[in-house]
Amino acid sequence: MAISDDQKIDYLWKKLGYGASKTDINSIKGATNESIPSPLLIRGDKLWSDSAQIPSVMPAEDTTYVGVYLDSQSSTVECTKDLTASANRTWITGLTDWIPPEFGSTYQVKVYIESAGESTPQSTGSQIFAAGSGNNDEWFFDYQSGILHFIGNNLPTGINGNVIYISGARYVGDFGVGGGSIGSNIQSLVNNIQNIQNALNNFEYSGHTQSEIDTLVAGGEPVGIVYDDTTGKFIPSTISASGGGGGSSSVPFLPLLLNDGTEEQVPLLTTFDGQELISGLLRFTLTDGNRDDIDLLISGSTP
């Protein structure tokens, strides 16, 4: 026995309207009483990752993200019959991912009847409308699959011996979470994480306890993290007045704070290959532990 239309509608109502699984007939368990979630599948490989680049008005010619199908572009699509359906009932564009009117009303496809092989069917053909002509000859277009189906009981006048043409626009940008601006943002995040991991892998803290660094800071020594050529690691060390550190390299990687109770100073001292680039510090004046004033002190020269 065939499944009744009422059961099919109840399934769709619960699935689409409430994102829930149908577990019983509506008279026993309505949609608001279904408790098992059943969200629609969103395929990652079909995500329009550049959809934000689709303009609200359909462009007159192809862009990076929108392909247009118009007589003016010699690209209005001639459809083929679906031979597995009733005669002239369903027509196939052979193209997917048409942009629907939710992006703007101008994206609604236009449908024409004309003889096969015409180059300008928008001009020479007869346009037919989705609402039909008043003869129960409505059509429905599936924007994802590119299929036009005459969903009304009747077929439009003039279809016998002719073909259907479609004009509109398709999304031609990147697909998936790995493409477009989404992919760029993800790749940037991955790169940042990798850089942090590389820095941590090269940071050596052994032999330098927190109390030792605190002693250096409390004693008025500017403390930074420097790269040691011998070990190939970044290590905590004092920074000399010329910007050098305690390691065999004199380039501080990350300066730490000097705190003598009345001031905090962030060293801006650095050298490269023995050539001083810039020297100075940021100085915070402290009162009862609170930062009241800030000074920027710069000395040295730039090459």
Q: Model's pTM, two decimal places? A: 0.59
At 303 the pLDDT is 38
Q: How far is CA 136 from CA 88, 112, 155, in A?
A: 15, 17, 8
Average pLDDT for residues 119-127, to the nearest whole number?
97
- Cα angle 129, 57, 94 (rounded to 5 degrees) comes to 55
Residue 248 has pLDDT above 50, yes or no: no
DSSP structural state of residue 282:
E
Query: Mind listing the pLDDT tens digit for each residue in 62-77?
Result: 999 999 999 999 999 9
Average pLDDT for residues 93-121, to the nearest whole number?
97
- Cα angle 87, 90, 92 (rounded to 5 degrees) comes to 125
**Non-local CB neighbours of 143 within 8 Å, separated by 6+ positions:** 97, 98, 99, 100, 109
Query: Mind listing the pLDDT tens digit for each residue in 138-173?
Result: 999 999 999 999 999 999 999 999 999 999 999 999
Element housing 10 (H / E): helix 5-12
At 253 the pLDDT is 40
Across the strands, what pairs with 278? 270
CA distance 48 to 64: 13
Better-predicted residue by pLDDT, 177 or 28: 28
